[in-house]
Amino acid sequence: MSESVLKGGFLEKMMIKLNAPWLKNKTNFFRLMAISQKAWLWIRDSLISIKQSETHRWLRMIIDDLINQMTQWESLASAMENHDYFFGYSEIELIRSSQITWNLPDVLWQVAAELENTQNIKQNIKKAITYPLILIIFSIIAVIVLLVFVIPNIVSMFPSKDQLPSITILMLDLSDFLQKTWYAVIITIFAVVFGIQFLYKYFLPFKIFIDWMSLKIPAVNWVIKAYYMYRFCSLLSQFYQAWVNPVVSLKLMSRILTNFYYKKKMIEIKDDLWAWFGYYDSMEWSDLFDPILIQIINVWENTWTIWESMWKISMFYDTLLKSKIAILMSVLEPILMACIAVIIWWIVASIFLPMAELVNVM
């Protein structure tokens, strides 16, 4: 395949989507762009320099297309729009505004910092769920081995199934079911997982219900709220630094945030700003935001220091988010261990009760 990506080329776009560069590649791209812009290189020359050192094949193709479009006098933001599956709405609009206000190097550096922080958050989440996930996988494997191989061998020692304890009969029926319909069970699991994803993406009532549940479940709700307060403060500070109109900023944020209720609130705040109300007036009675944040925003609006303060408070919520993730995992771990212990006890009882009965008979 050619190193060139034609504008609007469906096949090339699809191939890059399937082999999308990682977040760390995008972070490195924006950081190198910021460094080159601070060195007063032309944007096209910066892209050529980055392409020469880039090792990810598909990112090289994206950069090559950006170079080709800028050769045709397209702006960097317009060229990036052709790859909106890789560059986010906020990144494109920030760059579009910064090219008008001539603060592109600072905005590029802030975008790189935001992407790097997002990468750190994702790594913390992965690190937190690794142990419970491994525990669940090994537990499932152990249960399957016991049901499929151990219990049938023990049951075969009894001349009649009627002599078995009821718990063993139940597990034996479950073992027979798994052996006869294992393929249907696997297909059902995959169907449920993909069905939930499909419904969440395309069926609005289901999405609203899931988003509502995520804001009501104890321990989970504070992780969700901390994340969205961090994203709200961080995005707003970036848009203000790039001199994006506040109404446009909130419109973009309603497209970026995924939770239905936060999307809806961004639209409400946008409409209130359009009607000459302030952030505080629109957020005062909302339970989606920390009351302290709402009070701080009220002070910021009166002192005209909202941009700098938003960036600082976003770092606070970043730290809070990481601590809430750690607390959530510390709560889930003992619950998970207790559930696994109950399952293991049930299986062990179904094995040892008939063995004890067999010893008594002998």
The yes-or-no verdict on residue 13 having pLDDT over 80 is no
- Of 87, 105, 133, the position where a domain reaches its end is 87
Tell me how many domains the chain contains.
2
Regarding whether 336 and 216 lie in a shared domain, the answer is yes
Residues 278 and 300 in one domain: yes
Choose the most confident range, by mean pLDDT, from 163-172, 238-247, 249-258: 249-258
What confidence category does residue 123 fall into, taking pLDDT thresholds of 50, 70 and 90? confident
Q: In percent, how much of the chain has pLDDT > 70?
A: 88
| pLDDT on residue 12 | 61
Shared-domain flag, residues 250 and 342:
yes
The band of 8, judged by pLDDT with boundaries at 50, 70 and 90, is very low
Encoded amino acid at 114, one letter: E
Domain range spanning residue 290?
A: 90-362
pLDDT class for 270, splitting at 50, 70, 90? very high
Task: Measure the CA angle with vertex 319, ends 318 and 325; round to 5°.
Answer: 90
Whole-Å CA distances, 353 to 139, 150, 167? 21, 14, 9
Are both 27 and 83 inside the same structural domain? yes
Residues 82 and 137 in one domain: no
- Cα radius of gyration (the chain): 28
157 in the same domain as 47: no
**Which amino acid does the sequence have at 152?**
P
Average pLDDT over every residue of 205-227: 90
Q: What is the per-residue pLDDT across 138-196, written as a single tens digit (0 to 9) for each?
A: 877 877 777 777 777 766 766 666 667 777 777 777 777 877 887 888 899 899 989 99
| Domain co-membership, 145 together with 60 | no
For residues 127 and 295, is the Cβ–Cβ distance under 8 A? no
Residue-wise pLDDT tens digits, 221-238: 888 999 899 889 888 888
**Is the pLDDT score of 214 beyond 80?**
yes
Same domain, 42 and 141: no
For residues 5 and 48, the answer to whether their CB atoms sit within 8 Å is no
What is the rounded distance in angstroms from the CA atom of residue 230 to the CA atom of residue 241? 17
Amino acid at 95: I
Sort 107 into a burial class: Cβ within 10 Å, 0-12 / 13-18 / 19+.
Answer: buried
- Phi first, then psi: what are they for 278, rounded to 5°? -100, 175
Q: Which of 42, 68, 87 is the last residue of a domain?
A: 87
Predicted structure pTM score = 0.76
77/102 same-domain check: no
Do 75 and 95 fall within a single domain?
no
DSSP character string of 18-32: HTPPPHHHHHHHHHH
Q: Looking at the structure, do residues 153 and 292 belong to the same domain, yes or no? A: yes
Q: How many residues does the chain have?
A: 362
Nearest to 112 by CA among 28, 21, 15, 50: 28
Does 95 share its domain with 212? yes
Helix spans in 284-305 (H): 291-303
Residue appearing with tokens 């998970």: 336
Q: CB 130: neighbour CB atoms within 10 A?
A: 11
- Among 18-22, 272-276, 305-309, the minimum mean pLDDT is found in 305-309
Q: How confident is the model at residue 19 (pLDDT cuts 50, 70, 90)?
A: low
Last residue of a domain, one of 28, 60, 87: 87
What is the pLDDT, as a whole number, of residue 345? 81
Alpha-carbon distance of 90 to 111, in angstroms, equals 9
User: How far is C-alpha 157 from the geometric centre of its chain's CA atoms?
Assistant: 51
